[in-house]
Chain A
């Protein structure tokens, strides 16, 4: 029983971390119809920044700095690599995103020398706590709470504020939004800023649980978060969050099955098998938009 609880808790926690990345994919897709392949690598860079900053600065200073610089990175990537291609075919922007992804990975390899880097121990996340008879790290408890808080705040921003209204308008129709006086480029930047900030928070939570970061460390979580976003219906924030929790929990359960069954190595394959199933039976995902447009 205690084992089951600990598996579930850690599944929820991993799911929450995927959710923070998945929101970045789904927000950007919602507005630009672009799969931002560089997003997972932005997440990895945030992790590396966490390592370098905590080495010289106190944690209370490094973590905000990680978030600020990750936001700056996301903003700059959009301005430099995507904005000049605004009127180009979508495929060109996608290729540009793949280029940025490799640029970040290669730069990370250059900076770290390709060596796995150890993520610092952050006291209030790594400390243990006793839940229902099982010892678990604080990060496991804090992640879902933090994720839900951030999701609620984000929903309020999108549904109740003027910027949020502009985001929803731009996501449907660039040209008409311009005719209303909305600055498209500012709205797109806001999207990247939010996505990168959430990825930075996600990186702290995620890497706290992992021994080391390599330049490829963003690829797998990024890909799974992307699957989560597609699973939930890409473009939908609640979809991405629920999709991420489902994938995180399923994956942890598979990993936690008795080792004599020999299935735990297939946990990643499971994620992608799930993606194929969704695409076959529900191409628009769990919460994918039903078309309400009337012509």
Chain B
């Protein structure tokens, strides 16, 4: 029996009269990488934003570590151990690299040095640049910083919204290598991607979202072989 970290039941979300998410259910178990793939506007980001408390759900339930967190505010959700790497990286350009990492640990009052070492181990580049302003980093470095920042919150669940967006393929490969590494250290990850090929390769399980509903689910491997997924999301060898 696997321990369920995140359970979504019949989640519905609307933005200004448009229903972006129309009743989605899925779960993430401890130690898994689960990915939600789908086209632009399918409702992936809305789902993530609702889980993290930025957007209020219109219906359904979000259970995190056995506790109902539907409608709770972000601060409370973060304090329970749910960290997000937002779409477009959103690092703080005016804070130094080190401060960006510390902000990720904003609600912690314990010693950060061990976790800083861990982040610098994953991303040695960040250590070299720890005194630089976040805004001076390249896109790929900013993505590393965004991931490192989230790790500093000691997440029980790490959610990533389109980490490959706008990055060169070689950088994307690097980011996914790290996701794999973080995963093998025992972390639980919920990953949202348009780059279905990359996402399905790292994922234990995957869900395909279409028009605000889940149209397909299975293990990463199963979906990679699925004819519908191949034609709709992978094209010839994927978009990545």
Residues of A with Cβ closer than 8 Å to B? 162, 165-166, 168-169, 171-173, 175-183, 289, 292-295
Contacts and interface: CB of A to CB of B under 8 A. Distances in A.
Nearest to B85: A179
Interface stretch (B15-23, B38-46, B129-137, B192-200): B129-137
B142 A180 contact: no
B74 interface: yes
Contacts of A173: 90, 92
A181 B106 contact: yes
B149 to A, nearest CB: 8
A179 B135 contact: no
Given A179-B86, A180-B78, A181-B106, A169 B92 contact: yes
Given A169-B95, A292-B94, A179 B106 contact: no
Interface in B95-144: 95, 99, 102-104, 106-107, 133, 135-139, 142
B95 to A, nearest CB: 6
B84 interface: yes
Contact of A176 (B86, B136, B137): B86
Given A293-B135, A294-B142, A182 B92 contact: no
A177 B53 CA distance: 12
B160 to A, nearest CB: 12
A183 B136 contact: no
Given A176-B86, A179-B78, A292 B136 contact: yes
Given A175-B86, A179-B78, A294-B139, A165 B94 contact: no
Contact of A180 (B54, B93, B153): B153
Given A172-B92, A175-B86, A181 B75 contact: yes
11 contacts: A165-B103, A168-B95, A169-B95, A175-B86, A178-B73, A178-B74, A180-B107, A181-B107, A289-B94, A293-B93, A294-B139
A295 B165 CA distance: 11
B106 A294 contact: no
B75 A183 contact: yes
A178 B135 contact: no
A213 to B, nearest CB: 39
Q: Does more than half of chain A's interface fall in helix, strand or loop, or is it mixed?
A: helix
Given A162-B106, A176-B90, A178-B54, A294 B137 contact: yes
Contacts of B25: none
A171 B92 CA distance: 9
Give the top 8 A-B pairs by smallest Cβ distance, nearest first: A292-B135, A181-B78, A178-B74, A181-B107, A176-B90, A293-B93, A180-B106, A181-B106
A83 to B, nearest CB: 14
Contacts of A181: 74-75, 78-79, 106-107, 153
B47 interface: no
A178 B106 CA distance: 10
Contacts of A182: 75, 103, 106
Contact of A168 (B79, B94, B139): B94
Nearest to A179: B84
A172 B94 contact: yes
Given A181-B153, A294-B137, A168 B75 contact: no
Given A173-B92, A294-B93, A180 B86 contact: no
Interface string B80-92: 0001101010101
Contacts of B54: 175, 178-179
Interface string B138-158: 110010000001000100000
B52 interface: yes
A172 B102 contact: no
A169 B149 CA distance: 13
A168 B92 contact: yes
A162 to B, nearest CB: 7
Contacts of B136: 292, 294
Contact of A179 (B74, B137, B139): B74
Contacts of B90: 173, 175-176
A183 B53 CA distance: 13
A295 B103 CA distance: 20
A295 B94 CA distance: 14
A123 to B, nearest CB: 44
